[in-house]
Structure 1
Amino acid sequence: MGEQIRLGVLAITLGVVVGVLLFVPFVALSYRRRGGFGFGRFVLWGAALVYVMAIWTYTLLPLPDPATLSCAGVNTDATAIVDVIRGAFRRRGSAAATDPAMQQLLLNVLLFVPLGFFLRVLGDRGVVAALVAGFGLSAFVELTQLTGVWTLYPCAYRVFDVDDLLTNTLGAVLGSLLALAVPRRLRGSPRLPDADEPQPVTRSRRLLGMASDVIAAWVVGVSAVVAVQLALSLLDAESAVRDGSAARVVGSGVPILLWLVVTLVTGATVGDHAVQLRFTGGELPIGLARTLRFAGGIGGYLVLGALPGAWGLVTAVFVVGSLLLVFGTGDRRGLPGLVSGQRLVDARERQEPYAAPSGRPQPPGR
């Protein structure tokens, strides 16, 4: 039982990690296909991620120690499942479900029920797709075990069992049928006809954009740190790897530089683009306005966060102040809008040429 719990925790952890990596692309895709972000759909996709990780952990892990590997057998008799069911009823009668052999079959069925359910609810795919996906995924798992993780081990470390192919496929089909209980309008991810129409700039949308900036910057920073440490390891610079200062500098600097360039070029941060927001208008030159927008938002947070520990309190004050100003400004523009003098609008809103005080028209985007 302890091993099963550990595998479950590992599956959830991996699912969360992958979910963080895909969070901003998911938000961006949601706004472009559905015009907004649905928390329920996000949770459902998160559950699907955890499920995929669970399939991997429960069917392939733990990997055995090659020194103590005991080669497993093979069951290719498709009729053996009938003997298992008959034996369970012969031994337990009406309580056949409590027989260990029967329970193993039922667990194999239940393990693939979510696959068929997710295929119909998230992908709008029916029974045939569930049957093919269930059989294909189960076959991949069984062949991975049969080949010793594709020759990583000298022989199979778990039994290749055709019964698993049958029960797993049955589970996927049952899951697809159970998903018929979900209303038709909630299945799939069709592009809504009004997805390109401007929507109100709500506080939740603004906060989601800010969160997208922070998460995306964190992913970029961590990726930069890993890349630097890997490069130093390949160069045999072990002392630099242990010190970690070079990786920290790059991990802090790359997101700052990237977000600054994106903001200066497009007038919006990565998070703004994800939730389809933009800052416009104002009296300041466009370059200065965009720089101040960057400094008053994710840029200020990243720069302060890169400073020594004594600046931690200043960073905390900056974060709290930024959140409060989202609620305290009528158009949700917050600190970036206040310091740049710009207003916050839906990026899908038609852009009007901005007339400067002198009366000379300025290009859209100001």
Structure 2
Amino acid sequence: MDQYRVNALVTVFATGALIPLAMLPILARVVRRYGRLRGWPMISALGLLGSAVALGAFTVFPMPRPSSVECPSPNLRDYWQTDLFASIKPIASQAAVIGWEATSTSAIFLQVAFNVLLFVPFAFFLHQVTRWNGFGVIFAAFLASGLIEATQGTGFWGIYPCPYRLLDVDDVVANTIGGVVGVVISYIAISILPFTTPRKVPDLAPPSLGRRTLAGFIDLALIAVLAVAAQGVQAFFVALNDGREAAEDLLASGKIPLVIVLVAALAIAWLFPALRRDRATPGQVTVNIAPARLNSPRRHAALWQVTVRFAVRWLPMALLPFIYVFVVPMIEFACAVVRRDNRTVSELASVTLTRTRPAIRADQHMAASETQVLPRIE
């Protein structure tokens, strides 16, 4: 397995897995802001995710082979365009000669226009989801653009012997202008379209099966990412001790040791909830749900119940070969579908049920209010 294939695997993994997972706090923010996971808030979260992945892919691809990258200069600054507006001034010069109509279809104009349009959806959806101050969103677009240009101007942070794309300061200007346009459109949408700001619901009803399934898949994705990251750390130390070829052979095998998968599953699906008062996994925290005791729904699950849930749901998935990984979720899902209370096998075994965290807090607050004793008046 050559170095190019190793680099390609790393970058595909980074853009295809890490960026979506980095959006999980955004998804959690949507659920907490509106008390729901549907309608425009969900569309906005998915739009932000899609635009972020698109920016990541634009940063990386297309990736040339390192042997095909020509490096006429060893100085990185020779691959950087730092003259402000050097890419934009020719547009006005060309328009003065052939007119704006013809210039609007020229390559130099379309390149700048594309750099502006690329950041419009990102800024729009970022503002819709976070409702940050407009200047904060514009600054976030500026930082994201700067990161993209730095990645390109360093040859993907040293993976390539020299940059295969030009670092252009004018691209940062165009991207930031796109961020301004996206924020303006977002403010206009908020002012004239009521559905962009739905009323928050109490979120006290039992969580839907789809919502609980999404939480499970988030946990599964986090376990996979943690296991792959651990494999990468292992390959790094193998490279230090046994050489790069041994590390490349390890990555090329595509097999992750069982102990790494078990540790990743324990960390995400047992240790994380065990350390939390509400006993929620990362996926459950994201969609604002948590396990509760069946005989006392206002109380969070006990540690032994979390352990049973892990042993029934996650331990078999960690031990099974990859081709059978989804057998356990299918059994869990089928059990929830056929039962009237929508409880899964792991919930039945651990004597728990899944509720929204606001519902548990509301019941706890009500119980505390009922047990308060009024002060005695002398």
Q: Would you say same fold, with TM above 0.5?
A: yes
1:290-328 per-position Cα deviation (integer Å, ceiling 9, x unaligned): 44322332233223x25xx8xx56x65533221111111
Displacement of 1:202 after TM fit? 1.5
Q: Is 1:121 the equivalent of 2:121?
A: no
TM-score (norm 1): 0.67
Instruction: Select which of 267, 281, 297 maps to 2:294.
Output: 281
Q: Distance in 1 between matches of 2:107 and 2:127?
A: 31
**What SS is found at the alignment partner of 2:257?**
helix
In structure 1, stretches of 5+ residues that fail to align are 1-9, 353-366
> Aligned residue for 1:6?
none
Aligned-residue offset at 1:45 = 2.0
- Partners of 2:205 and 2:82 lie apart in 1 by 58
Is the partner of 1:67 in helix, strand or coil?
Answer: coil
Equivalence map 1:224-263=2 (5 Å) = 224-236=230-242, 242=249, 247-258=256-267, 259-262=269-272
* 1:193-232 alignment, distance < 5 Å: 198-232=204-238
Structure 2 partner of 1:41:
44
Aligned to 1:179: 186
- Aligned counterpart, 2:339: 329
Corresponding residue for residue 361 of structure 1: none
**In the TM superposition, what is the alpha-carbon distance from 1:219 to its structure 2 partner?**
1.9
The Cα of 1:17 is off from its aligned counterpart by 1.8
Q: CA RMSD of the aligned region, Å?
A: 4.8
Partner of 1:5: none
Aligned-residue identity in percent: 23
Moved more, 174-183 or 72-81: 72-81
Q: Distance in 2 between matches of 1:103 and 1:234?
A: 47
Deviations 1:80-124 (A, max 9, x none): 856632533532564332233333343343344335434533343
Contact preservation (8 Å) 1:134, 1:172? yes
CA contact (8 A) 2:52 2:122 kept: no
Mark the runs of 5 or more structure 2 residues left unpaired by the alignment: 1-9, 366-378
Asked if structure 2 preserves the Cα contact closer than 8 Å seen for 1:135 and 1:168, the reply is yes
Instruction: State the alpha-carbon separation in 2 of the partners of residues 207 and 220 from structure 1.
Output: 20
The alpha carbon displacement at 1:128 in A equals 4.8
Correspondence 1:103 to 2:110: yes
Comparing 224-233 and 320-329, the one that deviates more: 224-233
CA shift in 2, pair 1:138/1:235, >3 Å: closer
CA distance in 1, matches of 2:330, 2:149: 52
Decide whether aligned partners of structure 1 residues 108 and 11 sit closer, same or farther in structure 2, where only a CA change above 3 A counts.
farther
CA contact (8 A) 1:224 1:254 kept: no
Larger Rg: 1
Task: Summarize deviations over 1:269-301 as a string: whole Å, max 9, x none.
Answer: 444444322131359x96654443223322332
Matches within 5 A, 1:126-145: 128=135
1:91 aligned to which of 98, 103, 113: 98
Deviations 1:170-224 (A, max 9, x none): 4333333333342356669x9x8666x5332221122122222222222222222
- Relative to 1, partners in 2 of residues 1:255 and 1:43: Cα closer, same or farther, differing over 3 Å? same
CA distances 1:114-147 after superposition (whole Å, capped 9, x unpaired): 3543453334356655665666666676688789
1:319 to 329, 332, 341: 329
Structure 2 distance, partners of 1:236, 1:90, is 63
SS in 2 for 1:332: coil
| Partners of 1:119 and 1:198 in 2: CA distance | 27
Q: SS of 1:344's equivalent?
A: strand
Change (3 A) 1:112 1:165: same
Q: Determine which of 286, 293, 297 is the counterpart of 2:313.
A: 297
For 2:55 and 2:117, locate their aligned partners in 1 and report how far apart those are by CA, in whole Å.
Answer: 14
The separation in 1 between residues aligned to 2:313 and 2:125, in whole angstroms, is 37
2-side partners of 1:240 and 1:94: how far apart? 56
- Residue 52, structure 1, aligned to residue 39, structure 2: no
